[in-house]
Amino acid sequence: MDCKELEQPPLLVQYFRSPDPIVVNRALLCCHVLFYNPFKGLGFNYCSTKTYTRYKENDLSEDAFSRGLMCFYEKIRKDGFETRDATVKTMFLAYCLMQLKGLVKNEERSSNRFRAGDPDILIEKKGNVDETGYGVLNEENDQMDKKEVLFRKGFELLDEMSRNLILWRKYLKLKNEEIASRTGLDAGSVNNEVYKSMEKLKKIINGLRNKD
């Protein structure tokens, strides 16, 4: 089995459902080969933006990867790979990131409990009212999330067509033909249109950076 085969949904389902444990073990190993490093990069970046998960990036990412793979395996084995446009990689990373988000949330809760000094008090920030007095901490986190904030703002300011083109290409990884059928564009010009959209986004983000 070539690990790259796992990126093809029908083969992924076939290997995960195989009654031969050697095939399943090989498929699980291939998930590590294909996705471990890309996810670890994301996990590090995600955890390092939060004060309470800094320096725990490695453990949390590994745990999230393992949990994500468990759930992904079970889902594929049971329901197959629903063709929801996304690639195997995007789907897999989404499972791991969802697990990571849960783990990070737990860390946040225990961190808040620890700071509150009362294990029974679970503190959540409610609206704009910072009842806990930990506003400074949140501001610090916000500062570190600046890159994500810039991209988010940039996306909001982008016209709908450009936003969709970028999302379909970069997130759902749709092929030119699929994007063409959704937009009415000529398949040959899709690449160019996506590139133009990215240039627009780049300009907006640079503008926002200069404003700051």
Partner 1 sequence: MELTPQQYERIQQYLDRLMDKEDEKLFLDEVNSNVAMKEHLEFEKQLEESLLFMELEKGFPDLGITDADMNTDFAGADAIKKRIDEAGKNWKQQQNMNPLKPVIGTGQGVKVIAMNQDKRKFWYMAAAACGVIAVVGITVWLSSGPRNVDPVDVDDDSLHK
Summarize as ranges the residues that interact with partner 1 (CB under 8 A): 21, 24-25, 28-29, 31-33, 36-38, 40-42, 44-46, 48, 55, 57-58, 62, 66-67, 69-71, 73-75, 82, 84-86, 90-91, 93-95, 97-99, 101-102, 147-148, 151-152, 155, 166-167, 170-173, 191-192, 195, 198-199, 201-202
Residue 120: CB minimum distance to partner 1, A: 26
Nearer to partner 1, 5 or 62 (CB): 62
Least CB distance from residue 96 to partner 1, whole Å? Answer: 10
Task: State how far the alpha carbon of 11 is from the alpha carbons of 63, 81, 133, 173, in Å.
Answer: 26, 10, 53, 19
Q: Which lies closer to partner 1 via its Cβ, residue 67 or residue 109?
A: 67
Q: Using CA of residue 132, residue 134, residue 135, residue 138, what is the dihedral sign? A: negative
Cβ contacts of 176 within 8 Å, gap of 6 or more: 187, 188, 190, 191
Closest approach of partner 1 to the CB of residue 109, in Å: 17
Nearer to partner 1, 29 or 121 (CB): 29
Sole residue written with tokens 């379909």? 168
Smallest gap from Cβ 45 to partner 1, in A, equals: 4
Q: Measured from the CB of residue 178, what is the shortest distance to partner 1 in angstroms?
A: 14
Given the complex with partner 1, which of 12 and 86 has the nearer CB atom? 86
Closer CB to partner 1, residue 108 or residue 116? 108
